[in-house]
Amino acid sequence: MYTIRKTSKKQSAKNRLIAQSKQRLLNEYGCCQICGNRRSLQLAHLLPKGRYPEYYLESRNHALLCHECHELYDNDVDFRKSQTWAYNQIYQFAPLEAGRYFRIN
């Protein structure tokens, strides 16, 4: 009998970094960075991991959002555009991508 490794070592290391980032944000904010909700908090990627996988582990690309705000941020470009703080945070490490994702340039 042998065991099947469900998660590769590389993936486990990434998951650990993501978990650390979430813990750091929980310590720093403790609530949704958009609406202040303290429930159903998630680690959000300001530049989405599907379109911008290169920033998956970038800590400045991480934010603590509640489920509702996370959905809105990901799917509603007008809502996203109203979050100037998020644009400014992305601009620090990926100015071109910030403009594209927020459809500003």
Q: What minimum distance in Å lies between the beta carbon of 3 and Zn ion?
A: 40
Measured between alpha carbons, how far is 70 from 35 in angstroms, rounded to an integer? 11
User: Which residues between 67 and 96 bind Zn ion (CB under 5 A)?
Assistant: 69
Other Cβ atoms closer than 10 A to 72: 18
What one-character-per-residue DSSP string does 59-74 give? GGGEEEEEHHHHHHHH
Binding span for Zn ion by CB under 5 A among 9-17, 36-44, 77-85, 96-104: 36-44
Is residue 44 part of the contact set for Zn ion (CB under 5 A)?
Answer: no
Residues in contact with Zn ion by CB under 5 A are 32, 34-35, 37, 66, 69
